[in-house]
Amino acid sequence: MPINRIVKMTFKPGEIDNFLSLFRERKQAIRNFPGCLHLELWRDENAENIFFTYSIWEDTSRLDHYRFSEFFKDTWAKTRSLFESKAEAWTLKTVQI
């Protein structure tokens, strides 16, 4: 069953353009990573420096494969350096009712 991943990131106001540039540069590689079914970038309506990534993965093992890849480690290190506060992340399953 696919899983949903939401990551909340709060950036230093002066680093927003740097983040957007990095995301633009790497989004296609993330979308093409084995097991990634979908990727979106969301921005908070009331706080310009808060962003969320929303992704769908085939399963937890595919997400973990991505998270432990050299590509992710490099991307995350560059992204994390732009943060104003620590990121938050949730891995969620859709409830079928």
Tens digit of each residue's pLDDT (9 = 90 or more) over 27-74: 999 999 999 999 999 999 999 999 999 999 999 999 999 999 999 999
In this model, does residue 1 exceed pLDDT 90? no
* 38-47 pLDDT tens trace: 999 999 999 9
What is the sign, positive or negative, of the torsion defined by CA atoms of 26, 10, 73, 33? Answer: negative
pLDDT over 70, % of the chain: 100
The pTM assigned to this predicted structure is 0.94
Average pLDDT, the chain: 97
Amino acid at site 70? E
Q: Which domains, from first to last, does the chain contain?
A: 3-92 (3.30.70.100)
Mean pLDDT value of segment 14-19: 98
* Contact in structure between 75 and 22 (CB atoms under 8 Å): yes
